[in-house]
Amino acid sequence: MGEWRRSLEEVGLVVVLSNPVSEFWRRKRVLITGHTGFKGSWLSLWLQSMGSTLRGIALAPPTNPSLFEIARVAEGMEHRIVDIRDFDAVRTEMDEFRPEIVIHMAAQPLVRSSFNLPVETYATNVMGTVHVLEAARYVGSVKAIVNITTDKCYENREWIWGYREDEPMGGHDPYSSSKGCAELVSAAYRKSFFREAGIAIATARAGNVIGGGDWALDRLVPDTLRALEKREPVLIRSPSAIRPWQHVLEPLYGYLLLAERLYRHGQADAEGWNFGPRDEDARPVRWIVECLCENWGGEANWSLQPGDHPHEASFLKLDISKASQRLQWIPRWSLDTSLTRITDWHRAWLSGADMHDFCIQQISQFQSEQ
């Protein structure tokens, strides 16, 4: 026990294991879609650290390098390459694994790609969602489903107030609209099939997330870190645009709390939930870049990216009163802290650290900072 505990302490697992959220997840059978992606990799590591029995279905990691490979995510779970546009394949996985909880994150998640790939975006984000829900409906083991959409699912009225969960769905670009559709699909499945079948489904809407191990194109933090690494100026499209930012662990914690609630209490919480940042963490793009440059230890050096840029919806703020009141979910890390954690992560990676252990340490640190 002593040896075991000491080695767990070294990677910060003891704090994780003594947290009440962790107790619930031990030995739960969880199917996660999109586990090879950025958020999916972090969530898979978190669930693994809590002792869940985990199967992931997704395409190959969407970036190279990828957090999935670097943090050896596959080692702690059953890892399957499955295209969610293929219903039979999804159904086979679901029938074979018989999960109790499904966390659906697989998606084509980039606004700009959705202009070039609208058919693929809708096929994955809408019909892929239908396939996952339909397979969950028939397997007979599922009690709770959390479907991850986005803050962009709301009809953006270009107003200054926070959007509440009962605001209408919308979306200007194919990505946002596909996620609005995924919300409607979830609501229809809830009313038509799941209530009767005793399956509780909720949707989770979060905004831009940032964190170590994100290499997606066209996202500010990865683009900035790439430029800093190469000692090149950071090219930014809209320096004054204000966006809400949050560390990836913040919404993931919300998803975990929500799934637990659904599992324990059934339909009472089976609805839409916002997991957004604090008001003060909505900052201009330029502020983020300058803060990252400062953390990195160099002069802030950015310039405007030339060319036309496709429409990007203006700032959309989430009202998080419901999650904070009913789930006691409250953002933990300020934007400053999050950016420091990200530069720490990136430096550790560049210096050849064990990134599996480093991720677990950051998760444990997050859990211990109430």
Ordered alpha helix ranges (H), 11-161? 13-17, 20-25, 38-49, 67-70, 87-97, 111-116, 118-122, 128-139
Tell the smallest beta-carbon distance from residue 317 to ligand NAD (Å). 14
Tell whether residue 37 is a contact of ligand NAD (CB under 6 A).
yes
Using CB under 6 A, which residues numbered 206 to 265 contact ligand NAD? 206, 208-209, 216
Q: What angle do CA 5, 260, 22 make, to 5 degrees?
A: 5
Distances (CA, A) of 93 to 33, 87, 102, 137: 11, 10, 12, 13
Tell the smallest beta-carbon distance from residue 130 to ligand NAD (Å). 13
Tell the smallest beta-carbon distance from residue 84 to ligand NAD (Å). 4
Tell whether residue 62 is a contact of ligand NAD (CB under 6 A).
yes
Tell whether residue 282 is a contact of ligand NAD (CB under 6 A).
no
Tell whether residue 147 is a contact of ligand NAD (CB under 6 A).
no
Q: 198 in the Ramachandran plot: left (φ > 0), alpha (ψ -120 to 50) or beta?
A: left
137 vs 179 by CB, closer to ligand NAD? 179
Tokens coding 304: 């405007």
User: What is the H or E stretch that residue 156 is in?
Assistant: none
Within 10 angstroms of residue 148's Cβ, the number of other Cβ atoms is 27
Tell whether residue 109 is a contact of ligand NAD (CB under 6 A).
yes
11 vs 213 by CB, closer to ligand NAD? 213
Tell whether residue 84 is a contact of ligand NAD (CB under 6 A).
yes
Tell whether residue 148 is a contact of ligand NAD (CB under 6 A).
yes
Using CB under 6 A, which residues numbered 112 to 141 contact ligand NAD? 124, 128
Segment lying near ligand NAD (by CB under 6 A), choices 3-11, 38-46, 153-161, 291-299: 38-46
Tell whether residue 106 is a contact of ligand NAD (CB under 6 A).
yes
Q: Give buried/exposed letters for 314-342 (b at 16+ CB in 10 A, else e).
A: eebbbebebbeeebebebbbebeebbebb
Instruction: Please list the residues that pair with 244 across neighbouring strands.
Output: 282
Q: Where does this chain bind ligand NAD (CB under 6 A)?
A: 34, 36-40, 58-59, 62, 83-85, 105-109, 124, 128, 148, 150, 206, 208-209, 216
